[in-house]
Amino acid sequence: MTYDRASTLDSPPPKNNSYRPWLMVGLLLAAALVLFLTFRPVSQEEMVADDGEVKSYDPVVYDTSDWQTASQQSQDFEALKGALSATATSEEALDFYGNKAMRYRFSTPFEPPFYVIESPNLFELVWYYAAPTDDDATKKQSIDFAKRSYRMMSMAGGDVGTKIVEQMLQGAAVSSQTVGGFVLERGACEDYRCQIILRR
């Protein structure tokens, strides 16, 4: 057996790559150290300094002291709807108990909801209950809807009706009360909407 001595002597020694994993670990540790030394949490005071002031949101104020009431009472559904708006768009719907009914919308599709669902014995009024984070225009609409609902309830039940709206706007849930010729099934403002259900 013979060997090619020249080729054996001329070939380079095999490369040792065992240092590469340690090099990568070292680079990662160095990067983590740099991030740790340069990172600094931003305090509340610095955020205020950057933005000028902390954003605060004011709740909607419903001052019912000068809100209008109806001149006379009525238990007619058409008269009650007329106290809310002169115009409405109608569509089929279901009432609170799942019976066939009609929905009368007093707001456009681009505005907060304000509508009545009417079936033979139920009159359900719903309007948007603005949140503190809503813009001023939305809050103004919510107040306007509440004013019209206040007037409608004065038509349905006089002082008893308006008192119910006042209690709702203050966060109370009201039910099982006689309102003129109706029985109040439910009256509450929660989850961004106010709802009054009258049964005759």
Three-state SS annotation for 146-196 = HHHHHHHHHHHHHHHHHHHHHHHHCCCCECCEEECCEEEEEEEEECCEEEE
d(CA 26, CA 144): 67
Q: How many residues does the chain have?
A: 200
pLDDT at 45 (0 to 100): 52
Q: pLDDT (tens digit, 9 = 90+) per residue, 38-95?
A: 655 555 554 444 556 667 788 899 999 999 999 889 999 999 999 999 999 999 999 9
pLDDT at 19 (0 to 100): 63
Q: pLDDT (tens digit, 9 = 90+) per residue, 14-28?
A: 555 566 677 777 777
Tokens matching residue 132: 């503190």
d(CA 196, CA 124): 6
Q: pLDDT (tens digit, 9 = 90+) per residue, 101-151?
A: 999 999 998 999 999 999 999 999 999 999 999 999 999 999 999 999 999
Range with the poorest average pLDDT among 26-30, 84-88, 165-169, 196-200: 26-30
Task: Give the model's confidence band at 5: pLDDT under 50 very low, under 70 low, under 90 confident, else very high.
Answer: very low
Task: Give the model's confidence band at 3: pLDDT under 50 very low, under 70 low, under 90 confident, else very high.
Answer: very low
Task: Give the model's confidence band at 190: pLDDT under 50 very low, under 70 low, under 90 confident, else very high.
Answer: very high
Place of tokens 């160095």: 30
pLDDT at 138 (0 to 100): 96
- The candidate with the shortest Cα–Cα distance to 137, out of 172, 108, 112, is 112
Tokens matching residue 78: 């058409």
CB contact set of 147 (below 8 Å; sequence gap of 6+)? 67, 68
